[in-house]
Chain A
Amino acid sequence: MLKNRIIPCLDVKNGRVVKGINFVDLKDAGDPVEQAKIYSDGGADEICFLDITASNENRDTIYDVVKRTSKNCFVPLTVGGGVRSTEDIYKLLNCGADKVSINTAAVQNSKVVEESSKKFGSQCIVVAMDAKKNGENWEIFTHGGRNPTGIDAIQFANKMEGSGAGELLVTSMDKDGTQSGYDIDLMKKISSNVNIPVIASGGVGTLDHLAEGISAGASAVLAASIFHYGSYSLEEAKQYLASKDIPVRI
């Protein structure tokens, strides 16, 4: 039986992890390579790097981080943030990323998704969508949640599936950072409207939230803070889900 994945996410800026982790015995608390290794040794089913480097000059640092991580980490590695073109995707894959997530560029020009999924295969193309509740619906935002687009999230999800996305990483902007749980309605709506896997993101504060995300139809659950700050270990998260009869890899 296919297991539900737990994906810890690390925010990386200029080659360093932004949110610290309270791991003991960690020599360099800000090194993403070292932290990715700790997560993979701890049972992460996949690891996600989100590059939030502001300036283009420092973009090369993420390539170096991906290169070094992939030499030490033998679980899938997804990298996103600032991915604009097929060329960017090629560079990241070439450095050892297994999947690349595309956010703003996918909204601005869906051809990037079409072309890259044809060129590299759908299996490595993840479309990351930031959605915010607007009345009865959800609206897509770009540029790290700064710019409204007027695009309906469900329609966008369908469009991305049609363009060849292999997975959708769905973040609720209302919930992100609140630790009050995923936007369950959003996750339900999207996962029941597409036939590709959905990764739930934004809002995890407790282990029960992870279980709720999977019950809503997500194939994988992504979380940052609960693992960063050592509130829970991956092992605890998995044991908890297993105790709720949710299939996980232990």
Chain B
Amino acid sequence: MNVTIVDYNSGNISSVINSFKEVAKDKVNIEVTSDLNKIKSSDKVVLPGQGSFKSCIDALRKISGLVDTLNELTISNKKPLLGICVGLQMFADIGYEETETKGLGWIPGKVSKIDNQNGKYKLPHIGWNEINIVKDSKIFKDIENNSHMYFVHSYEFVPEDKNVISATTDYSSNIVCSVEKENIFGTQFHPEKSDKIGLKIIDNFINL
């Protein structure tokens, strides 16, 4: 089996690579690439993302044919895809970081800044927070409710259809921190930095 981590100059992805390689060991081939043919032929895809919504979308669109390839893979061919942090946020129709930017439109909704309640909550939301699992998701197999995950973000994904939400976390309000829609998975937190429990989520995704 091939799992491809999409390398589209979205910032620092070495931790994502290290964690997937740690979990995959020799059983699964982890490819890190922006090569469209390799992405097309892979069994599963990971879409990381750091920095701003706009910078990630811009970087994605800069690679000619990449968005079409990802659309084909996930929407037409229904291959499992895991978006991490801004990788998840890009599923939305629109993002408001820096400036209004069109997203991939895979899951209807928007990405807006977390309400800090006039400075009551510091932003970015950095650190370990508990996840409240609201729906059985395949990537949460053997993950206990209220497990701690590592977060670092200032923007949140607000999907229109609440049924796609698989977990929330409490910071200022109930922030969406995990979604599942058919073959599309996403986490706002960083499983690659969430210790053993985070590696378990990666393992669950690899073994889907």
| A and B from one complex | yes
Using CB atoms and an 8 Å cutoff, list the residues of chain A in contact with chain B.
1-5, 40, 45, 70-71, 74-76, 93-98, 119-124, 166-167, 195-197, 219-220, 249
Q: How far is the CB of B114 from chain A (nearest CB, A)?
A: 12
Q: Are A121 and B52 in contact (CB under 8 A)?
A: yes
How distant is the Cα of A53 from the Cα of B194 in the complex, in angstroms?
Answer: 30
- Contact with A195, one of B15, B122, B152 (Cβ below 8 angstroms): B122
* Contact A74 to B126, CB < 8 A, known contacts A96-B14, A121-B50, A121-B51: no
CB-based nearest A residue for B21: A71
B104 interfacial contact with A, CB 8 Å: no
Determine whether the beta carbon of B12 is less than 8 Å from that of A93. yes
From residue B27, how far is it (CB to closest CB) to chain A in Å?
A: 18
Residues of A contacting B19 in the complex (Cβ-Cβ under 8 angstroms)? 74
With A3-B128, A94-B12, A96-B15 known as contacts, the answer to whether A74 contacts B192 (CB < 8 A) is: yes
Q: A70 and B128 in contact (CB under 8 A), knowing A2-B171, A219-B122? A: no
Instruction: State the main secondary structure of chain B at its contact with A.
Output: mixed
Q: A120-B12, A121-B51 are in contact. Are A70 and B119 (CB under 8 A)?
A: no
Number of A-B residue pairs, CB cutoff 8 Å, is 97
A219 to B129 Cα, complex, angstroms: 13
**Contact A93:B122 (CB < 8 A) given known A40-B195, A121-B52, A123-B50:** no
Tell me the B residues contacting A by CB distance below 8 Å.
Answer: 11-12, 14-15, 18-19, 22, 50-52, 55, 116, 119, 122-130, 148, 150-154, 170-171, 192-196, 198-199
Given contacts A70-B14, A93-B14, is CB(A123)–CB(B153) below 8 Å?
A: yes
In the complex formed, the residue of B with least CB distance to A198 is B122
Nearest Cβ in chain A — how far from B2, in angstroms?
A: 21
Residues of A with C-beta under 8 A to B55: 121
* Contact partner, B129, options A3, A70, A96, A195, Cβ 8 Å: A3
Measured between beta carbons, the chain B residues less than 8 angstroms from A122 are: 124, 154
Q: A2-B127, A76-B152, A123-B126 are in contact. List 8 more A-B contacts (CB 8 A).
A: A2-B128, A75-B194, A96-B15, A98-B193, A121-B50, A166-B152, A195-B122, A249-B148
User: With A and B bound together, what is the CA distance between A121 and B11 in angstroms?
Assistant: 8
User: What would be 21 A-B contacts, judged by CB atoms less than 8 Å apart?
Assistant: A3-B129, A5-B127, A40-B195, A45-B128, A74-B193, A74-B196, A74-B198, A74-B199, A75-B150, A75-B195, A94-B14, A95-B14, A96-B14, A96-B18, A98-B12, A119-B51, A121-B52, A121-B55, A122-B124, A123-B124, A219-B126
CA distance A119 to B119 in the complex (A): 25
CA distance A21 to B205 in the complex (A): 38
Cross-interface CB contact of A75 among B22, B171, B193, cutoff 8 Å: B193
User: Would you give the shortest CB distance from A199 to chain B, in whole angstroms?
Assistant: 10
Partner of A124 from the list B12, B52, B151 (CB cut-off 8 Å) is B12
Q: Is the CB of A120 within 8 A of B195?
A: no
Given A98-B15, A121-B52, A123-B50, do A3 and B126 touch, yes or no (CB 8 Å)?
no
Q: For A74, what are the chain B residues with a Cβ–Cβ distance below 8 Å?
A: 15, 18-19, 22, 192-196, 198-199
Chain A residue, CB-CB nearest to B98: A118
